[in-house]
A and B are shown apart, each in its own frame.
Chain A
Amino acid sequence: MSGSNGTAPEPPLRPTDGHRRRTYPRFVLLVVLAIVAVVVGLSPLIGSVFIPPMTVLRILWGIPNPCVGTSASATLCSNWDEIIWQARVPEIGLAVIAGAALGISGATLQGVFRNPLADPFLLGISSGGTIGAAIVFDFHVGQAAPDLFLPLFAFIGAIATGLVILGVALSRYGSVETLLLTGVALASLLSAVLALLLLYNPAGSEQVSFWLLGGLGTASWTVDGIAMGVLLVTGTLLCLFGRELNLMQLGGDVARSAGVDVRRVRVWLILLASLMTGVAVAFTGIIGFVGLVSPHVVRRVAGTDYRYVLPGSAVVGAAFLLGARDVSLLVFPSSVLPIGIFTAFFGAPFFIYLLFRRRPTSTMGTL
């Protein structure tokens, strides 16, 4: 009887530019992946010590450094092998791993909380890690093996905060709004606790504030190995939740009516995202903006399908952190500046640019 078959089609509510919606997420992801590969390939050339590019490539290729020249320059270049293999490559590895971990956990949390601002910081997960680190610095815990205890305590702090949020999620007050506000309140509470810790015992405050800006200084093959293991397992698990996150963007009830066990999925996602953040925070300290910006970049270029946003955010996050490392070393080659300064320095303006380059048809993208 009725129906729009016979009537003139209604004009769309908002003008749409046809080229924009056709996103080819798989193609875009391949391109981004290729860019990351190139950046990874070039990154060993950059470091605080200048090593001729051809020498770097030769060393990477497995050809022993000939180290020819005068005796003075020979002693100078004799440790280039070690610099490349024991410092630069693990550092690059850690940048890629931590960036990927932060990117994918940011994407997950934005999806779970249906909020474009959600990231490990907003929810206090990172702050939990800071408290763990502050305890180590302030109370000189485990001085016998600081390389073990600092990441361990940071990890425990992050996970503990994640578990508190998870507890709220499991209670019958576990609406998205309650969860988000719980996280925000926790973050404030934890920063107050941190301030108290530093006032009470200022001994470790310098280390803590350095740690608060993040860095790749802890990188080693062991660290990379552990972090990579967690990233692979957790990241793979997270990427299996793309469909669920897509449906959850329509609201918990709609997702449930379509068959998503929303409570169970939420618990899993918060747990896995906390694990991811915990690992990143444990080894690199607090590195801001990677978790917040990366998912937004992916949504712009590859669309909003979480089956692509999740792995895409990992790739973009890796590129972002590695790029920040490279830029920081190019600009200030002689000093090791905290990398968090650079991610914020580039991340914040870029994020604002993204917001103002309005794309009218995605609420998630435009806040």
Chain B
Amino acid sequence: MTAPGTASLPLRFAGVSAGYGSRPALRDLDLEVRPGEFVALAGPNGSGKTTLLRVVLGFVSPTAGRVELFGDPVESLTVLQRARRVAWLPQEESPRDDVRLLDYVLYGRYAFHGSLERDSRADYALARSILTQVGLADRAEDGILSISGGERQRAVLARALAQTTPLLLLDEPTSHLDIGHQLDLLARVRDLAHRQSVTVVAAMHDLNLAARFADRIVVLSRGRRVADGPPAEVLSEELLARVWGVVADLRREPRTGMPYLIPHRLAVTASGPGPGSGFGPVHLIGGGGAAAPFLRALADDGYALTVGALHLLDSDAEVAEALVVAGPIEAPFAPLSPEVRERHRSLLTGARAIVVTPFAVGPSNLANLEDLLPFASRTPILLVTMPPIVGRDFTGGRATAVFAQLRTSGARDVTGVEDVRRELRALASAPATPRA
């Protein structure tokens, strides 16, 4: 066995491209993995994660560049030499035969035997200790097909570990497991990396799990490395939007400080650009949760949205923030200040359409309605009248009066979310000539 040099890196990619056609799976990739690291490879489907692993395993030959395993070019190693340096845990291994677990683990010793050699006592001892390590010691005599899926993936891990390699590759190892087994498997792998200084490179779809267990996240997009570093530094809302096209909240777990994210929606809807893309900003006026359903629906349709003016801590303000919708914010319960109203008016000026959602009008937000008056003749205004304004007018009739004025200047009544979507679609398909 060729002993990997101690000074050399477990894995080094230098200018590696792989794959054929107009869209190669890896493009000019540089990557260095240090000993004992747990590296998570992240990226959307088709970003090159699996290809990267397959290049290391020698299943795919790079079209350009150099891949080194412990200092030696991958293609210079024989299949046997490679199997002594790197082991692989596939996404799902489907054994056909009901092999005894202990024998199954011993399969991993293949690279250390001649054709005529039998499994030695040392091999059996190793297999048993690995089964203990993955928590399957009591199932050593059971057949691989008689254990559960979660246990089977641990058995497959055990088979890979029996290769006693300094580098372990995992290809979405937890995608078929329930959440308990996901945590269990990854915790075992991380312990392995840290305690026995096995280097781990894992393609992972679940970014929360990647952030929780990996020392380092390498983000691939279209075959290129677009981010690389500790999870807390790498993961950002901007990255999620750019690489995955997803609008998500990135929070920090209070106890560990680890980032975790809550995905909300696609930045661009899955069915391509929605009816609202390219229409121009739609401005919503709301408060107290009245605007929220309109915000979500119109965001899904792909409209550029603005909102205003809202009070801090208002539930509409939170939804707007989550959807990355801009709008002026006033201090809680305070009447709208001149600065806030000024910003609100500038948003109204830029709006292609204005939707007045059915919010409760009080002294602190009446100004939102009053500011509309100059725009009523220029910009289409949709007044949502379910429930009617009379029931939610807490300004002694002044709000109702503004509604009446808006109607005379051309504002139209609509009933709810679907009505608004319909009206906006009609506006979007009409020629974009501002009404005089």
Which A residues have a C-beta under 8 Å from some C-beta of B? 1-5, 7, 9-14, 16, 21-22, 114, 240-241, 243-244, 246-247, 249-251, 253-254, 256-262, 299, 304-305, 361-364
Contact = CB atoms under 8 A, between A and B. Distances in A.
A254 B93 contact: yes
* Candidate in A2, A244, A260, A299 with the most chain B CB atoms within 10 angstroms: A2
Q: Chain A binding site: helix, strand, loop or mixed by DSSP?
A: loop
Given A5-B135, A12-B142, A12-B147, A259 B115 contact: no
Contact of A1 (B100, B138, B145, B187): B187
A114 to B, nearest CB: 7
A244 B115 CA distance: 9
B58 interface: yes
Given A12-B142, A16-B143, A261-B80, A362 B135 contact: no
Interface in B234-272: none
Interface in B113-170: 113, 115-116, 135, 138, 141-143, 145-151, 159-160, 163
A254 B93 CA distance: 8
B100 A21 contact: yes
B196 interface: no
Interface stretch (B103-111, B303-311, B347-355, B359-367): B103-111
Contact of A249 (B78, B87, B97, B150): B97
Nearest to B87: A257
Nearest to B150: A10
A259 B84 contact: yes
B58 A256 contact: yes
18 contacts: A1-B183, A2-B184, A3-B188, A4-B151, A5-B135, A13-B146, A14-B146, A256-B59, A257-B57, A257-B87, A257-B160, A258-B83, A259-B80, A262-B79, A305-B99, A305-B103, A361-B146, A364-B96
Contacts of B111: 258-259
Size range of the interface on B?
A: 35 or more
Contacts, number: 123
A253 B147 contact: no
Interface of B: 57-59, 78-80, 82-84, 86-88, 90, 93-100, 103, 107-108, 110-111, 113, 115-116, 135, 138, 141-143, 145-151, 159-160, 163, 180, 183-184, 187-188
A305 B95 CA distance: 13
Q: Top 8 closest A-B pairs, CB basis?
A: A259-B83, A259-B111, A304-B97, A361-B98, A257-B88, A240-B115, A16-B146, A261-B79
A12 B146 CA distance: 6
A16 B142 contact: yes
A14 to B, nearest CB: 6
* Candidate in A12, A22, A247, A249 with the most chain B CB atoms within 10 angstroms: A12
Given A254-B90, A259-B163, A364-B97, 7 more contacts: A10-B147, A14-B146, A251-B93, A256-B57, A257-B160, A258-B163, A364-B96
